[in-house]
């Protein structure tokens, strides 16, 4: 159950688009389409942003989108806004009802 690999930090200017990668293995991301993304502001609980690779819960801005290719999933934030500055975590189902989180990515809005 090794953590999925994410870049430690990603930054962008307001209005730009950024992409956060989440690299796993053929035992998790590569096999299952149960990849989710969570946003966490300091001192707050995580918030679901994307589930099942590409689906957005109601209430989440359509500026957030997800995709997957092989063993790597990605979260793209378009039209970056100051409120998007937070930590982002991916998670994947790993089989046998177990899950693993990514290492986390700090998004900075310049």
Residues near other proteins (CB under 8 A) are: 1, 3, 34-36, 38, 40, 45-48, 51-52, 57, 87, 89, 91-93, 96-104
Q: Which of 88, 101, 94 is nearest to 34 (CA)?
A: 94
> Which two three-digit tokens encode residue 104?
């986390």
26 vs 58, which CB is nearer to other proteins?
58
Q: How many CB atoms lie within 10 A of CB 73?
A: 30
CB of 110 to other proteins, least distance (A): 23
- What's the rounded Cα separation, in Å, for the pair 72 and 62? 21
12 vs 94, which CB is nearer to other proteins?
94
CB of 33 to other proteins, least distance (A): 9
């Amino acid at each position: 159950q090794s953590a999925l690999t994410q870049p430690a930090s990603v930054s962008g200017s307001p209005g730009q688009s950024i992409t956060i990668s989440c690299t796993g293995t053929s035992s998790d991301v590569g096999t299952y389409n149960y990849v989710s993304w969570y946003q966490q502001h300091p001192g707050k609980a995580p918030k679901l942003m994307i589930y099942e690779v590409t689906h957005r819960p109601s209430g989440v801005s359509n500026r957030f989108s997800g995709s997957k290719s092989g063993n790597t999933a990605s979260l793209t934030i378009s039209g970056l806004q100051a409120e998007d500055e937070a930590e982002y975590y991916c998670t994947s189902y790993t089989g046998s009802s177990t899950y693993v989180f990514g290492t986390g990515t700090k998004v900075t809005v310049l």
